[in-house]
Amino acid sequence: MLSLLGTVKNYHWGKKGPQSLVYRLAVLNAQSDAKLSENEAYAELWMGNHVMDPSLVKDTHQPLGAYLAKQPPEVVGSTGDLSFLLKVLSIETALSIQVHPNKKEAEELHKLFPDVYKDDNHKPEMAIALTPFLALCGFRPVDKILDFLKTFPAVAELLGQENVQKLQKDSGTEGHSEGLKACFTRLMESTPEEIAKCLEATKKQMEVAMEPENILLKTFLTLQRDFPGDVGILTVFFLHIVELKPGEAIFLSANEPHAYISGDCIEAMACSDNVIRAGLTPKPKDIPTLIRHLKYNPQPLASKIFTPQKLNGDEFVDLFSPPVKDFAVIRYRIPAGVKEHSVKLKNHASVLIILSGKAKLEYPGSPGIAVSPGSVIFLPGNIGNQLNIQKEAAEELFEAYQATYNDF
């Protein structure tokens, strides 16, 4: 087992300084190496072996990939490299309206635009809430969108009568919606003047008709405050507003529209950083590519929530196993009163971050390693499949998240 240094990302949307969980974990993770400013935004902590920003072996500052290249194949396992990337996110303002391409599309985009799409991998991902967490995710059912268009005529006017009629033809149907594609394309291609006019009229109507605590109004006003005049604000009428409680999760497959709005989360994904953006961002947008690649499949809100299972029936260990092989997430929550606990795992390399509690991790026959909040640990795939956790203090909660290859 190896202690790692994660990589910090100071994106504009992150929480600032000590308010950010990323900042607090980075200080603990780097300890004497920390050179962090309390005035900067701390958005993401990366843990893994992505080509742009691999984690470092803490003792030597050697890139994790360089270390793995010198190890026997069984250290990583059958995949030959870490197929996943683990992150912690602390979100103050919304991330962009975005999708991630599938594998074939990622290869094509990387070949054509390597400066924009930095790798050739797909990027299915999962967010597990650590605090109350707000996101836009996936298209609402067609009938719900049509209800909004009846209620807010300025939005319907912006989309145009012909496109709205196409959407009406898809009412009550499942699967791909050409009407939805037509309406969303028209929205994304609207001029700034058209968007501004629609936003002004819709905002006035919403503030008169809705209670201040209405989640649609609150989300609309939050996005309007942070990104005035942005087309992404109007996506609240198309995309589900998902409110996650701590411990709840969403899974995002390729080409599913989404935007995280606020809160802290664990995020796991295939090892990629490919993003196609179209709103709520100062970064370059690629609206034609997004429109072309989107999945226009309306689904109910309940379909967006991903429910974990107990790993091998273990009451203290949850398994988030999405329908992709690239990654799974294991969550450990060993409560006060339990001093030691053993967990049976697969023989695959993994990366683990500790959020709460001090403990010693060991495999049978290994010397073990001491961990505490902020510790990031690489666990090789060839040291056995029984992880023993010995807490320093029985009265503490031990909480950790582990990303690994998914053959559960």
Catalytic positions, written as ranges: 277
State the residue for tokens 């273990």.
314
**How far is 144 from 155, CA to CA, in rounded Å?**
14
Q: Where are the beta strands (DSSP E) in 215-292?
A: 239-244, 249-252, 258-270, 276-279
- Report whether 258 belongs to an annotated binding site: yes
- Report whether 340 belongs to an annotated binding site: no
- Report whether 240 belongs to an annotated binding site: no
- Report whether 100 belongs to an annotated binding site: yes
Q: What angle do CA 359, 363, 365 make, to 5 degrees?
A: 125
| Residues contacting residue 311 through CB under 8 Å, at least 6 positions apart | 317, 318, 319, 330, 343, 344, 408
Q: H or E element: which one contains 26?
A: helix 21-30
Q: What angle do CA 97, 98, 104 make, to 5 degrees?
A: 165
User: Using CA atoms in the order 227, 228, 230, 231, what is the torsion angle rounded to 10 degrees?
Assistant: 120
Partnered with residue 319 across adjacent β-strands are 309, 330
**How far is 102 from 63, CA to CA, in rounded Å?**
27
Structure token digits, residue 188: 């994304």
Binding residues for Zn(2+): 98, 100, 125, 258
